[in-house]
């Protein structure tokens, strides 16, 4: 039981230190290969893509209801945790959430016919802890004084923390000029997991006259996998840990789906659902469960305080009937969904409105956002977004992707205005470097107006119109706006023949007239 408590505290602390993703990076559209991991229907610019271990992508996301300054009070000679201040900043239902993802490898190749084939490997560490405000009030404040003669119902408690790796094989294919669909199947390998299944409930009642507590517990359990291997206990050593982190029996599958649909040249819809899947945890299982129990706690006898530990075990811990087993269990991934409405103001400027949801322990956590994305030629794309995260106020974020030759650098950060680490409750950071080779074929190459720039030409974008170089004023969807051209004389064989006949006729008449005059 002691190890179980230490495990819970460790994972909870880890979760506090490190969420649902913000939108500044997502609004870059298809600017990077990593955007395809958010929506598998997005096809990045290029023909061949490579991502090297670690440097190709690191993503850290944090979402906490309480900041450092809201949890601690600093005095002249010390810093103390401030429980009343913590309670005052909580809402009825709260969440500590984290996500750390490292891109270990990715490849992508776009076929001549249009579809993109991709392979990705990601290392992921995720954690979520859901808890009600009443639980904190009862445990850390003067619980049975503040809630005398009242029932305190503590429910909607959930906890999960996992370390796993995903291997994904995907395809994104244009169905027609309007619709593109994407699909990615993922093979999952789990390394460590701790979870409290949803549905745990506790009802407490403090009697104000005799100061006793009536308690009722239901569905209280804790499931763990892999922790003995990490701690090298119960016969496990370094070689076991190394082989465990390469491949083991904790396996599962997941699915990502996405799509984009162009309503017309101005409006587009995008949507995706990712992480539809599970991991079957089978190795190094240690499950702890508390049987459904109702009991009355009358406190401890002050005359027996010499052996407080034994006294507590006899008076309180003995009320709980705990069991331990090694039964395998299945853990589902939190499913994440996003939907965006896009207004293509011009070929360089897009406006986004996005709604997202992440299902954690059977609870939906929503986010909302809007932003603008600007392209500066083919080498640089930037976006700015305003996002409303779960349990947070609106925050402003920004992202960019810059390319020089085959090398692409990208970065996205939210909470960029008045950011302060001690006051921060949520943050989302991504950065990395990719390699992209080749260019997509322009559909307009066969049309009268070529959109391909001419070597050595100057201007916003120089194109060819009827065989002559022209300067493009701006783009509007598939159209290029150019300056008004001078009227050109039509020349063809029939017109030339008619002109020649007319000229000969006039010459003949003139010669005859001159002869008559003689």
pLDDT tens digits in sequence order for the chain, 518 residues long: 334 333 433 333 333 333 345 688 999 999 999 999 999 999 998 999 999 999 999 999 888 888 888 888 888 888 888 888 888 888 888 888 889 999 999 999 999 888 999 999 999 999 988 888 877 877 776 555 555 556 666 777 788 899 999 999 999 999 999 999 999 999 999 999 999 876 666 766 665 554 556 666 676 788 999 988 988 887 788 888 899 999 999 999 999 999 999 999 899 999 999 999 999 999 999 998 877 666 555 444 444 444 544 544 554 455 556 788 899 999 999 999 999 999 999 999 999 999 988 887 777 888 889 999 999 988 999 999 998 877 777 888 899 999 999 999 999 998 777 677 788 787 889 999 999 998 755 443 333 333 344 444 444 455 666 667 777 766 665 667 777 777 666 555 555 566 666 666 655 555 544 445 44
Question: In this predicted structure, what is the pLDDT of residue 142?
Answer: 53
Tokens standing for residue 319: 């009320």
- CA dist 462 and 465 (Å) reads 10
Nearest Cα residue to 63 out of 417, 448, 393: 393
Q: How many CB atoms lie within 10 A of CB 143?
A: 17
CA-based end-to-end distance of the chain: 134
* Cα–Cα separations (whole angstroms), residue 126 to 101, 275, 354, 433: 8, 13, 23, 23
Interacting residues of 74 by C-beta distance below 8 A, sequence separation 6+: none
Question: In this predicted structure, what is the pLDDT of residue 150?
Answer: 63
Question: In this predicted structure, what is the pLDDT of residue 488?
Answer: 64
Tens of pLDDT, residues 58-79: 999 888 888 888 888 888 888 8
Chain centroid to Cα 254, Å, comes to 16
Question: In this predicted structure, what is the pLDDT of residue 216?
Answer: 66
Question: In this predicted structure, what is the pLDDT of residue 85?
Answer: 85
Nearest Cα residue to 356 out of 128, 10, 20, 14: 20
- CA dist 471 and 461 (Å) reads 6
3-state secondary structure of 22: coil
Interacting residues of 494 by C-beta distance below 8 A, sequence separation 6+: none
Q: Write the secondary structure of 347-384 as one string of H (helix), E (strand) and C (coil).
A: CCEEEEEEEEEEEECCEEEEEEEEEEEEEECCCEEEEE
* Cα–Cα separations (whole angstroms), residue 358 to 20, 236, 334, 353: 7, 36, 6, 17
Question: In this predicted structure, what is the pLDDT of residue 252?
Answer: 97
Question: In this predicted structure, what is the pLDDT of residue 511?
Answer: 52
């Amino acid at each position: 039981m002691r190890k179980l408590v230490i495990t819970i505290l460790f994972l909870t602390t880890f979760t506090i230190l490190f969420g649902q993703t913000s939108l500044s990076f997502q609004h870059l559209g298809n600017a990077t290969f990593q955007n395809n991991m958010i929506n598998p229907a997005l096809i990045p610019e290029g023909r061949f893509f490579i991502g090297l271990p670690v440097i190709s992508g690191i993503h850290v996301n944090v979402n906490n209801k309480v900041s450092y300054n809201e949890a601690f009070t600093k005095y002249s000679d010390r810093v103390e945790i401030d429980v009343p201040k913590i309670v005052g900043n909580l809402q009825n239902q709260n969440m500590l959430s984290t996500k750390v993802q490292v891109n270990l490898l990715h490849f992508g190749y776009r076929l001549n016919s249009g579809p993109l084939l991709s392979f990705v490997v990601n290392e992921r560490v995720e954690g979520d802890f859901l808890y009600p405000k009443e639980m904190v009030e009862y445990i850390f404040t003067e619980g049975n004084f503040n809630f005398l003669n009242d029932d305190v119902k503590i429910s909607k408690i959930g906890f999960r923390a996992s370390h796993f790796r995903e291997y994904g094989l995907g395809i994104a294919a244009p169905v027609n000029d309007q619709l593109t669909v994407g699909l990615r199947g993922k093979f999952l390998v789990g390394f460590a997991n701790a979870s409290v299944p949803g549905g745990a409930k506790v009802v407490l009642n403090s009697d104000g006259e005799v100061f006793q507590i009536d308690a009722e517990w239901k569905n209280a359990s804790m499931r763990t996998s892999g922790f003995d291997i990490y701690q090298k206990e119960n016969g496990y050593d370094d070689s076991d840990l190394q082989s465990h982190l390469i491949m083991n029996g904790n396996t599962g599958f997941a699915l990502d789906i996405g799509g984009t649909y162009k309503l017309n040249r101005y409006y587009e819809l995008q949507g995706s659902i990712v992480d539809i899947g599970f991991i079957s945890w089978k190795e190094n299982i240690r499950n702890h469960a508390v049987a459904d129990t109702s009991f009355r706690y009358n406190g401890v006898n002050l005359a027996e305080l010499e052996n407080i530990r034994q006294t507590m075990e006899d008076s309180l811990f003995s009320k709980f009937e705990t069991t331990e087993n090694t039964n395998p269990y299945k853990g589902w991934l939190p499913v994440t969904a996003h939907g965006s409405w896009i207004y293509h103001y011009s070929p360089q400027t897009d406006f986004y409105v996005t709604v997202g949801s992440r299902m954690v322990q059977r609870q939906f956590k929503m986010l909302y956002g809007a932003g603008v994305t600007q392209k500066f030629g083919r080498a640089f794309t930037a976006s700015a977004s305003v996002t409303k995260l779960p349990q947070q106020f609106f925050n402003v974020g920004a992202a960019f992707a810059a390319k020089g030759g085959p090398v692409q650098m990208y970065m996205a950060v939210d909470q960029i205005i008045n950011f302060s680490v001690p006051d921060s409750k949520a943050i989302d950071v991504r950065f990395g470097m990719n390699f992209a080779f080749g260019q997509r074929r322009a559909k307009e190459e066969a049309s009268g107006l070529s959109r391909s720039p001419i070597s050595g030409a100057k201007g916003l974008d120089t194109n060819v119109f009827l065989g002559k170089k022209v300067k493009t004023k701006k783009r509007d969807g598939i159209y290029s706006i150019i300056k008004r051209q001078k009227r050109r004389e039509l020349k063809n064989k029939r017109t030339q023949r008619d002109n020649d006949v007319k000229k000969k006729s006039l010459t003949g008449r003139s010669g005859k007239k001159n002869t008559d005059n003689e």
